[in-house]
Chains A and B, each alone.
Chain A
Amino acid sequence: MITQVENPILEIHDLTVSYDQNPVLWNVDLSLPGGKLVGILGPNGAGKSTLIKAIMGLIAPTSGYVKVFDKPLNEVRSRISYVPQRESVDWNFPASVLDVVMMGTYGKLGLFRRPGKKEKDIALKSLEQVGMSGFVKRQISELSGGQQQRVFIARALAQEADLYLMDEPFAGVDMSTETAIFQLLQEMTAAGKTVIVVHHDIHSAMNFFDWLIMLNLHLVASGPKELVMNEELLRKTYGGKLNLLTRVTDMIRQKDFNPLKS
């Protein structure tokens, strides 16, 4: 169940990615429309992070190609923003929260130039958007896990990009913050930006995403949420892990179920 679109903002053509000659992603072929909040779902080891890294050019694909804004990656880097998984860096690094968020502005700044007032203002605004204004001067080694994650989201916001790729940005983030940031992402997509989020929580996935990609080494589905959020595709993605699936299908049946409204 793969919906292709005209004038895609991201086009992945027949992509196969391998680690040490072992392919972990097979023939992924999809295209995404602009201005959507896109979720990537799949079990652990499904290749979600690998897909994001391949889109960002951090892993060279075995075959296939990726085009962003109809151009090769290198020409549009400054329009793409990235939130890596939190464990990918050492949080003992001697930097303050503001220092890290300012890093988001370095791409546009270019070599040798120093960040100034403008960059600082962008960083402060991004911190405010994720509710971290009170922690500007704090060293990153003194943050909680969820706060670190929010710093990473703020850093991505500071990139002021058109396409955002976020690898599990809400891991360890509390419910109310998650909802607030999801609403922020919805505002951004309403303003024409595209946000792709790797996400593990099917509840909030149903509530917030416009478009869903389901992945399990192969591409299972890519399409508007209404079309792909069904029992058969979820079963294909998560492979008959039954109690999870019955719960989810229950949720799908109660059409306007919303865990946050209660």
Chain B
Amino acid sequence: MTFDSNAFLIIFTGSLIAISCGFLGVFMMLRKMSMTGDAISHAVLPGIVIGYFVSGSQRSLEVIIGAGLLGILATLMIDWLRKKARVQLDASIGITFTLLFAIGIILINLLAYKVDLDQECVLYGEIAYLPIDSWITKSGLNLGPRITWLAGLNFFFVIGFIYLLFKELVLTSFDENFSSVMGIPSKGVNLALMSIVSYTTVSSFESVGAILVVALLVVPPATAFLWTKSLIPLLKLTAAIGISISVLGYYLAYWIDSSIAGMMVTVAGAFFGISVLIHGKKPAWFRGTSPANQPFGV
């Protein structure tokens, strides 16, 4: 088989997106906020529309800023509903994202004569067109596929964010009160995480779409968590799953001639299902990391 540069680019980009989403998803899962990612991915729609309206381009910085702001707003709203209005978490999420999504749809219709925003694209995205969408500078230099650049930049930010704030992320996920007591700003850390989740969602829209990005946030971490109970292996396994679903997703989609992003998520779902089945009858040698219990006294 010869080297297929298109296939490589698509798989590479898919892996970058899957790993970015997966890493963030691990922390969302540990905070029991996986579905907040779902809320955010829908709630950013009005931000995108407004950003688009302001800048006139679907690919502008304004769109990303608008989406980021809306993501933070959604987080604050969910938090407020839960803590101050004492609404259950699932209900707060449901109220927030449907409301913001609805506002987004109304905005699209209101601004329809000025905004030629492709709703299909926002919702579904398609990574297969990536090789024909190059980033060409004003002087005509072809720098390669734009979406790969976006995904790479995003990946870089996510890794940097997690690297810098690793101990804060872990601590605030495990014991929020304790971190506040020590003066580590748990609210700030939370908002920072939600902003980068918003940014990641938006940046991944064009390639995988708003709905499938949620799957990438939730499914790989949940699958990895079935196999390991410590954090670093959890992150590594999530990354490995991200790469595997990109490779398998691409070739399966190619084989049956279907959506690559859709196939990636289907493969992720299959991984999860298989993990659940195997996990039930995992042999003892696979499970144990801990030495035998020893009696002890102080």
Contact = CB atoms under 8 A, between A and B. Distances in A.
B30 A78 contact: no
A144 to B, nearest CB: 9
Given A94-B30, A95-B174, A99-B170, A112 B164 contact: yes
Contacts of A96: 230
Contacts of B234: 94
Given A84-B175, A106-B182, A94 B298 contact: no
B225 A94 contact: yes
Interface stretch (A35-43, A134-142, A234-242, A247-255): A134-142
Interface residues of A, number: 42
A180 B298 CA distance: 7
A77 interface: yes
Contact of A103 (B165, B166, B174, B294): B174
3 shortest A-B CB distances, which residue pairs?
Answer: A107-B182, A131-B298, A180-B298
A80 interface: yes
Contacts, number: 91
Nearest to A142: B290
Interface of B: 30, 32, 164-168, 170-171, 173-175, 177-184, 225, 228-231, 234, 289-290, 294, 296-298
A159 B184 CA distance: 14
A180 to B, nearest CB: 4
A155 B289 CA distance: 23
Nearest to A183: B298
A77 B230 contact: no
A260 interface: no
A106 B167 contact: yes
A58 B174 contact: no
A118 interface: no
A94 B228 contact: yes
A254 B233 CA distance: 58
B177 A84 contact: yes
B171 A106 contact: yes
A93 B296 contact: no
